[in-house]
């Protein structure tokens, strides 16, 4: 059982206009992964030094794979893995051994190569009769970890889809309106269609969010997500801008190609 950490009574702040467009433009996926891995390793190290333990949410999809390999190799020694608690932001409702499983990807690329105690690793369950029952079970797991009323992850890694989705929060989905539950079952427009996902309040309660976007196919979505106040019903990844913590957008040149104006200012290193 993890040592209890006292957190301020973290009530999710009401959604409000927030800039949160700290866009870091990197040469390519390799450069993005190295810079993001450096930042994540540094944050984990800082949190463990100050709070004793660090909770991290892993992203699914392909983009974070290089980052996972780097955390398991180049940055392995910089992280006190025994003090790290690992969770997932979403999962495809497939067995853990399925090649499409986000758990399997992270296990093979990262967790099999670092001394993180198995008791600290909390994959989303996919063996329940219904995905909703699995979502409720994972919420119990999070509630056991976070004794206060709202989860307050230290580090959250996210990807972004071509349609602007993040985790398994898809444009216009009912899951976006969820205000009380921490984890819900969701429907994806692509196979595997049944998903589990944390909800917007969980993402906006995080201390440090890192969103990874690589390739030209993500440029349009990133443009919309960073534009104006961020229409997060149409482009759910924009919802993280409503959060109380820091948000860093890691993009390679192709993915950042359509980001404009004030965001371009950030591109040349002027964090706003």
Closest separation in Å from C-beta 33 to ligand 6PG: 12
Rule CB under 6 A: say whether 33 interacts with ligand 6PG: no
Segment contacting ligand 6PG by CB under 6 A, of 6-14, 135-143, 153-161, 239-247: 153-161
Q: How far is residue 259's CA from residue 251's CA, in Å, rounded to a whole number?
A: 10
Pick out residues in 80-139 that bind ligand 6PG (CB under 6 A). 90, 92, 102
Closest separation in Å from C-beta 225 to ligand 6PG: 13
Burial state string for 161-191 with b = 16 or more CB within 10 A and e = fewer than 16: bebbbbbbbbbebebbebeeebbbbbebeee
Q: Which of 159, 171, 230, 243 binds ligand 6PG (CB under 6 A)?
A: 159
Q: Which of 79, 110, 167, 251 binds ligand 6PG (CB under 6 A)?
A: 167
Closest separation in Å from C-beta 268 to ligand 6PG: 26
Segment contacting ligand 6PG by CB under 6 A, of 56-64, 67-75, 105-113, 245-253: 56-64
- According to DSSP, residue 74 is labeled T
Helix locations, 146-199, DSSP H: none
Q: Which of 33, 63, 105, 173 binds ligand 6PG (CB under 6 A)?
A: 63
Half-sphere exposure of 16 (CA within 13 A, CB side): 4
Q: Which of 36, 48, 57, 59 binds ligand 6PG (CB under 6 A)?
A: 59
The DSSP string of 7-25 is ----PPPPP------EEEE
Q: How far is residue 48's CA from residue 59's CA, in Å, rounded to a whole number?
A: 21
**Cβ-proximal residues to 37 (8 Å cutoff; 6+ apart), any chain:** 67, 70, 71, 74, 75
Closest separation in Å from C-beta 60 to ligand 6PG: 3
Residue numbers at the binding site for ligand 6PG (CB under 6 A): 59-63, 90, 92, 102, 159-161, 165-167
């Amino acid at each position: 059982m993890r040592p209890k950490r006292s957190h301020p009574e973290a009530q999710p702040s009401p959604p409000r206009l927030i800039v949160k467009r700290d866009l870091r433009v990197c040469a390519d996926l390799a450069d993005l992964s190295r810079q993001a891995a450096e930042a994540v390793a540094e944050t984990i190290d800082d949190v463990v030094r100050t709070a004793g333990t660090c909770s991290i949410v892993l992203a699914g999809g392909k983009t974070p794979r290089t980052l996972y390999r780097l955390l398991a190799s180049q940055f392995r020694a910089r992280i006190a893995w025994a003090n790290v608690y690992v969770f997932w932001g979403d999962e495809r409702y497939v067995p853990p051994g399925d090649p499409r499983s986000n758990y399997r990807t992270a296990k093979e690329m990262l967790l099999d190569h670092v001394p993180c105690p198995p008791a600290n690793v909390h994959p989303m369950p996919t063996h329940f009769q219904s995905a909703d029952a699995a979502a409720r079970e994972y919420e119990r797991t999070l509630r056991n970890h976070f004794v206060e009323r709202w989860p307050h992850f230290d580090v959250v890694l996210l990807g972004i889809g071509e349609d602007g989705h993040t985790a398994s929060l898809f444009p216009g989905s009912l899951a976006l309106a969820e205000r009380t539950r921490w984890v819900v079952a969701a429907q994806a427009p692509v196979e595997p269609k049944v998903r589990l996902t944390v909800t917007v309040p969980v993402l906006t309660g995080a201390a440090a969010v890192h969103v990874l976007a690589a390739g030209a196919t993500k440029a349009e979505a990133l443009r919309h997500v960073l534009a104006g106040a961020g229409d997060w019903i149409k482009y759910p990844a924009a919802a993280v801008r409503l959060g109380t913590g820091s948000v860093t957008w890691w993009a390679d040149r192709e993915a950042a190609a359509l980001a404009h104006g004030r965001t371009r200012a950030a591109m040349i290193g002027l964090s706003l």
